[in-house]
Structure 1
Amino acid sequence: MKILHTADWHVGKVLKNQPRIDEQRAVLRDLVRVADEEDVDLVIVAGDLFETAAPSPQAQGLVMQTLMALRAEGRHVVVLAGNHDNARLVQDVYRPVLGELGMHVVGTPQRPDRGGSVTLKARSGEQAVVAALPFLSHRVAVRAAEVLLHAPSQHNQDYANRMRSIIGMLCADFSGDTVNLVTTHATMLGGRWGGGERQVQLLGYEVPPDTFPVSTHYAALGHLHRYQEIGGPCPIAYSGSPIALDFGEEDNTSVALIVHVTPDTRATVRPVPLTGGRRLATLRGTFDEVVAAGEEAGDAFLRVILKEKAKAGIADMVREKLPNTLDVQIDENFRARAQSGAVKSRVGRSPTDLFADFLSEKEIDDPRLGAMFAELLEEST
C-alpha cells in the first residue's frame, strides 16, 4: 500500500498583511500532482486545513477543490481537524458532504464505531485500519479539577494518559493481516518545532511516542510544521507544512511524505519536495547591507532587521528599495533603552509577551497560566 501523508495547510494564512492564497493554490495543486504521479492508494491530511476557525469562502473553496482532486482515481482520503480548524464545521458540514464522495472526515473525537476508526481496501487488495484522532485540547482531555489541584507535571501526565487510553481504544481493530495506521494532530514528545507554531500552546501537553501500540505500521502526525521522523515503537512522522507560514519557518523544507507499507513489512517514508510557495528570508545589517543582499533574494518575501538606530521613514525607505519586504525591525542592540523604572512600551509586542511581563511583575511563576492565556487568546481571535 502506498500512502501520501500531508498536514498543516493553514489555507487562508496572511503574513504581515500579505495574502498567501495564490501560493497555497499553487502548492496544493502540486500536492495533487504528487498523488497522481505516485499513484497512491490513500491520502492522509492530519489536521489544520485552515488558518482560522472562520475560514473565508475562498479558503473553503480551495480546500474543498483540493480534497476532491485528491479523491480522484479511486484514492481513499482521510481528513482530521486540527487546533486551528473549527471542529464543528469539519464534523457537521464537511464530514457529511465529503462522506457522500467517499472521504472519511473526523472533526471531533469519535468512538471507533462512529468514525474514530475506519477500514479501507486498497486497489491492490490490502486492507488498512486507520485510527483517526483530531486535535484534542487538554481542557477536553483533562477535567478542570485536575488542572486546579494537580501540579503541572501531574497535569501533563494526565493529558498523556488520556491520549494513550483514547488511541488504544481506537486501535482495537488492529490485526496481523491489516495495514495498521494511526493519524492524529498533537505534539509528540521529542518533536522539534518548525519555528512558526505558537510555542506556548505546545509546551507541556506532549504525547510520548510509546502511546502508539507496537502493532502500528505507521503514525501520520500533524501540528509541528517541520518535516521530521520520531523514534518509537513504530515509524512516526510529521509531514510538516507544505508552505513556510512565517519567518520562523524560512529554513523548513516543504514536502509531502510517501509511505510504503504492507501488513508484513515496516513502513518506509520518502519525502517528496513541493513547489509553489514563495521563499521567506530574513536580512540583517545596515540599510546599505540589506539592500545589497535583497537584490540577490529574487522573489522571496523579506523580513529586514536593521543594525542601526531608527530614524523617521526608515521602513518606507527599505520597502522602496526592496518591494518584497513585509516586515522591518530595528535590531534590539540598536533600540532605545527604557529608563530604569519607566513603563515598557507596548508597541510591536504580542499579547502573550505583555501577559508574561504582568506575571513577572506580580512574581507569579506558573507556566499553566501562560498556556491558558494563549488558548483563550487563540479562541477569541
Structure 2
Amino acid sequence: MKILHTADWHVGKVLKNQPRIDEQKTVLRHLVRVAQEEDVDLVVVAGDLFETSAPSPQAQGLVMHTLMALRAEGRHVVVLAGNHDSSRLVHEVYRPVLGELGLHVIGTPQRPDRGGTTTIDTRSGERAVVAALPFLSHRYAVRAAEVLLHDPSRHNQDYANRVRAIISVLCQGFTPDTVNVATTHATLLGGRWGGGERAVQTLLGYEIPPDTFPVTTHYAALGHLHRYQQIDGPCPIAYSGSPIALDFGEEANEPVALVVHATPDSRAQIRPVPLVGGRPLRTLRGTLDEVVAAGEQAGEAYLRVILTQKASAGLADQVRDKLPNTLDVQIDEKFRARADTRVTRSRIGRSPTDLFADFLSEREIDDPRLGAMFAELLEEA
C-alpha cells in the first residue's frame, strides 16, 4: 500500500504583509501531481489546513479544491484539524460536505465507531485501518477523555497520559492483516521545531512520548512541527513538515511530502519527495553595502535584512529600493539603543538642538541629516 503524508499547509498565511496564497496554489498543485504520479492509495493530511481559525473564502476555496483533487481516481483521503484550524468549521462544515464525496474528515475527537477509526479498502483490495486524533488542547483533552473513556478519574492525569489513553482506544481496531496507520497533530518528545510553530502549543505541557503509539502501528503520520523528520519509537513515526517555509525561522527547511510503502507484515518505508512552488526565504546580515551585494545573488527569495550599523533616516527605504524582495529590515541588536546605557543630563539651559542631539545619541542613531532637518524646523516655527 502507498500512503502520501502531508501536513501544515497553513493556507492563508501572510508573511510581513506579503500574502503567500499564490505560492500555496502552486505547491498544492504539485502535491496533487505527486499523488497522481506515485499512484498512492491513501492521502493523510495531518492538520493545520489553514493559518487561522477564520480562513478567507479564497483560502477555503483552495483547500476544498485541493482535497477534492487528492480524492480523485479512487484515492482515499483522511484529514485532521490542527491547532490553527477551527475544529468546529472542520467538523460541522467540511466533515459532512466532503464526507459525501468519500473523504474522511475529523475536526474533533471521535469514538472509533463514529469516525475516530476508519477502515479503508483500496482499489487493489488492500485494507488499512486509520486511527485519527486531531489537535487536543489541555482543556479539550479533559472533555475528549470523558467522551472516549467514560472515566472521570482520568481527568486528573496529565496531558500526555490522556492523549496516550485516547490513542490506545482508537487503535484497538488494528489487526495483523491490515496496514495500521495512526495520525495526530501533536508535539512528540525529541522532535525538532521548524522555527515557525506557535510556541504556546509546542511547550513541554503539550509534548507526548513516541511510545504513545502501540507497536501494532505500521506508520504514525504526524503534523504540527514544520520540519520533515523521523522520530525513533515503537513504530515508524514521521513529521512531513510544511510544504513551504512559513517564516524566516524555517528558511533552512526543505519542503517535502512523504510517500510511505507499508504492508501488514513489513516495516513501513518512508521516502521524502521534494515539493516546489514556495519561494525561498533568506536572512542577510551586514552593512547596507554588504547586504545589497548579497541580495543581488538571492534570486526570487524573500529577504529579511539585519543591518550591522547604526540606524539612520530612510535606511530601511534604501534597503527596499535596492532589494525589492525585502520583507523585513532590522538593526542588529548590538547597534540598537539600550535604555540602561543612557546618561541622564540636566535640560536646564540647553537648546532644543542639543536635546535632540542627545536623543539621537541615546538611540545610537548616527545621521547628521536629522539634526539639520530639526534645526530647519525650529527656524520655521
Which residue identity is paired with 2:292? Answer: V
Tell me what 1:99 maps to. Answer: 99
| Larger of the two Rg values belongs to structure | 2
Partner of 2:308: 307
Residue 337 of structure 1 corresponds to which residue in structure 2? 338
Aligned to 1:374: none
Residue 156 of structure 1 contacts residue 206 of structure 1 at CA under 8 Å; is this kept in 2?
no
**2:271 alignment partner AA:** R
Give the letter for the 1:178 counterpart.
Answer: T
Deviations 1:196-255 (A, max 9, x none): 112232111111000100000000000000000000000000000000000000000100
Partner in structure 2 of residue 212 of structure 1: 213
TM-score by length of 1: 0.85
For 2:73, give the aligned amino acid: E
C-alpha displacement of 1:139 = 1.8
Partner amino acid, structure 2, of 1:41: D
Deviation string 1:163-207 (CA, Å, 9 cap, x unpaired) is 010000000110100100000000001100001112232111111
Matches for 1:1-381 after TM superposition, within 5 Å: 1-142=1-142, 158-204=158-204, 205-339=206-340
C-alpha offsets along residues 249-275 of structure 1, whole Å, 9 cap, x if unaligned? 000010000000011111000000000
SS at match of 1:283: strand
> Partners of 1:267 and 1:289 in 2: how far apart?
48
Q: Which residue identity lines up with residue 323 of structure 2 in the other structure?
A: L
Secondary structure of 1:172's counterpart equals helix
1:84-128 C-alpha deviation (Å, 9 max, x unpaired): 000000000000000000000000000001110000011221110
User: Separation in 1 of the partners of 2:286 and 2:294?
Assistant: 9
Equivalents in 2 of 1:159, 1:306: separation in Å? 43
Q: Distance in 2 between matches of 1:71 and 1:289?
A: 49
Q: Indicate how the Cα distance of structure 1 residues 182 and 156 shifts in structure 2: closer, same or farther if over 3 A, else same.
A: farther
User: Helix, strand or coil: the match of 1:91?
Assistant: helix
Give the secondary structure class of the aligned counterpart of 2:55: coil
1:339 Cα offset (Å)? 2.6
Question: Is the 8 Å Cα contact of residues 142 and 158 (structure 1) preserved in structure 2?
Answer: no
Letter in 2 for 1:322: L
How far the C-alpha of 1:156 sits from its partner, in A, is: 11
- Measured in 1, the distance between the counterparts of 2:221 and 2:86 equals 21
Q: 1:3 to 1:303 in 2, by over 3 A?
A: same
Deviation track 1:296-321 (CA, whole Å, cap 9, x = no partner) reads 00010000000000011111000000
| Runs of 4+ displaced beyond 2 Å | 198-201, 339-342
Distance in 1 of aligned mates of 2:260 and 2:270: 5
Give, as a single letter, the amino acid of the residue that structure 2 aligns with 1:83.
N
Q: Deviations over 1:11-69 (max 9, x none)?
A: 00000000000000000000000000000000000000000000000000000000000
Name the structure 2 match of 1:149: none
Length, aligned pairs only: 331
| Matched residue SS, 1:169 | helix
Give the distance between the partners of 2:279 and 2:76, measured in 1 at CA.
30
* Partner residue, 2:350: none
> Which amino acid letter does the alignment assign opposite residue 74 of structure 1?
G
Name stretches of at least 5 consecutive residues in structure 1 with no aligned partner.
144-154, 343-381
How many Å separate the matches in 2 of 1:263 and 1:275?
32
Q: Please report the RMSD computed on the Cα atoms of aligned residues, expressed in angstroms.
A: 1.5
Partner amino acid, structure 1, of 2:14? V
Q: Output the CA distance in 1 between the equivalents of 2:49 and 2:156.
A: 27
Q: Distance in 2 between matches of 1:113 and 1:272?
A: 34
1:171 alignment partner, SS class = helix
Check the 8 A contact 1:256/1:273 in 2, yes or no: yes
